[in-house]
Amino acid sequence: MGDEAARAGTAAGPTAVTATGTGAGTETKSAGEKLGCALGRLVDKDEVDGVLAAQEASLERYRATNAVLEQFNAEVAAAQGKQVKALESYTKLLREMKKDLDNIFKRCRSLRSKLDDKFPLVVAADPNALILDPDDDDEGDLSGEPGEAVGGWC
């Protein structure tokens, strides 16, 4: 096989082989073209067709997989957008609730101070009479340890 290609390239010179036909013209093939033709005859056409068919099938599977993944990514992006909006609304609600609770506890402390000023004998007799449960004031619990109140009544 390799000897045929070598002989074909050296028969009429290293760069070109001239063949004369019985017709009007002359046909010239380079050594590379001759080598390509010789190698082409060595390869089985059925094998090449089988490889091409396998590549086409793989390409189709790749395209189908790519389409499914693109659709999945689009659905995930849409769901993420909805979840981000919901999270933003929940965060806004929690901030408003914290402001409301801060206002409520501030008013409770103010009322306690007024009661202390108005009824000092009751507070002196029973200091725990006007003390609310400190666990009701969750001010700062988000930044502290569980069960540890960062803020306080006083």
Contact status, residue 150 vs residue 139, Cβ threshold 8 Å: yes
Query: Phi then psi for 28, rounded to 5 degrees?
Result: -120, 130
Q: What are 11-24's pLDDT values in tens digits? A: 444 444 444 444 45
How large is the average pLDDT for residues 112-133? Answer: 76
Residue 122 has pLDDT above 70, yes or no: yes
Residue 137 has pLDDT above 70, yes or no: no
Amino acid sitting at position 127: P
**What is the DSSP secondary structure assignment for residue 153, as one 8-state letter?**
-
Q: Output the pLDDT for position 26.
A: 54
Q: What are 55-70's pLDDT values in tens digits? A: 999 999 999 999 999 9
The more confident residue out of 111 and 17 is 111
Q: Residue 107 half-sphere exposure, CB side, CA atoms within 13 Å?
A: 6
Q: Which residue has the tokens 């306690």?
A: 112
Q: Output the pLDDT for position 136.
A: 56
The pTM for the full model equals: 0.43
